[in-house]
């Protein structure tokens, strides 16, 4: 049984001229430190079964994503800074030489609700790979047939889907881009909609 070490890990054991008998206590202390560090997120090495299996994986927070070579990928955590908050997230960086070692945010999805627009209630979230997903309900009318994509950071539309709310199928509308400033898509305009009918929408785009 490995004893509980009393001294911190010493990477200079054994010394250059030490006999094993002299260094035995230090060896036991160092092995005890290694055992205790390993068992924090692994099944203990002396367990009856599954010895050495991971119980959880912890990623030390990085100041920036590490570079990768060709033939390797990196998985790491780092802080994400937003205008109103800072949070930690898990990232994956592709191999070097592929998409310039592009990194992808893998975790910490959050749902955001911008201020509601007339006839529109929506939510959005960010997905890995620079994607933004908008979803919610909209009720088109003669005086308001717009669907605003707030926040206005969408650079390209990937998919737009509508479905009438309720159990009776109705004609689904189609939309066209109403306003687009250089590089950004801000608003979609409903066409062929059934007035005073609420539609569920989901829009996927690039940021």
pLDDT at 71: 85
**Which domains, from first to last, does the chain contain?**
1-58 (no CATH), 61-105 (no CATH), 120-206 (2.60.40.3940)
- Nearest Cα neighbor of 136 from 172, 170, 161, 168 is 161
**What pTM, to 2 d.p., does this model score?**
0.55
Question: Average per-residue pLDDT in the chain?
Answer: 81
Mean pLDDT of 2-30: 75
3-state secondary structure the chain: CCCCCCCCCCCCCCCCCCCHHHHHHHHHHHHHHHHHHHCCCECCCCCCCCCCCECCCCCCEECCCCCCCCCCCEEEEEEEECCCCEEEEEEEECCCCCHHHCEEECCCCCCECCCCECCEEEEEEEECCCEEEEEEEEECCCCCCEEECCCCCECEEEEEEEEECCCCCCCCCEEEEEEEECCEEEEEEEECCCCCCEEEEEEEEEC
What phi and psi values does residue 99 have, to the nearest 5 degrees? 50, 35
- Nearest Cα neighbor of 189 from 177, 202, 171 is 177
| pLDDT band per the 50, 70, 90 thresholds, residue 28 | confident
- Nearest Cα neighbor of 148 from 191, 180, 195, 111 is 180
- Whether 98 has a pLDDT exceeding 50, the answer reads no
| pLDDT band per the 50, 70, 90 thresholds, residue 6 | low
Mean pLDDT of 72-97: 82
pLDDT at 174: 67
pLDDT at 51: 93
The pairing of beta strand 61-62 with beta strand 74-81 = parallel
Q: What residues contact 86, with CB distance under 8 A and at least 6 apart?
A: 79, 80
pLDDT at 92: 84
pLDDT at 1: 45
State how far the Cα of 140 lies from the Cα of 147, in Å rounded to an integer: 8
């Amino acid at each position: 049984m490995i004893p509980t070490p009393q001294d911190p890990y010493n990477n200079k054991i054994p010394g250059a001229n030490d006999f094993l008998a002299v260094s035995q206590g230090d060896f036991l202390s160092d092995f005890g430190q290694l055992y205790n560090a390993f068992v924090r997120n692994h099944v203990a090495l002396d367990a009856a079964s599954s010895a050495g299996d991971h119980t959880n994986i912890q990623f030390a927070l990085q100041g920036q994503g590490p570079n990768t070579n060709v033939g390797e990928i990196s998985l790491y955590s780092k802080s994400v800074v937003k205008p109103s908050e800072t949070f930690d997230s898990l990232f994956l960086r592709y191999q070097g030489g592929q998409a310039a070692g592009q990194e992808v945010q893998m975790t910490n999805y959050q749902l955001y609700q911008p201020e509601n627009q007339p006839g529109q209630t929506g939510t959005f979230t960010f997905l890995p790979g620079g994607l933004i997903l908008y979803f919610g309900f909209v009720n088109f009318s003669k005086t308001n047939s717009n669907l605003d994509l707030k926040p206005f950071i969408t650079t390209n539309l990937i998919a737009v889907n509508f479905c009438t709310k309720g159990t009776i199928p109705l004609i689904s509308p189609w939309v066209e881009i109403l306003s687009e400033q250089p590089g950004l898509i801000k608003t979609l305009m409903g066409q062929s909609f059934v007035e005073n009918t609420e539609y569920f929408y989901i829009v996927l785009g690039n940021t």
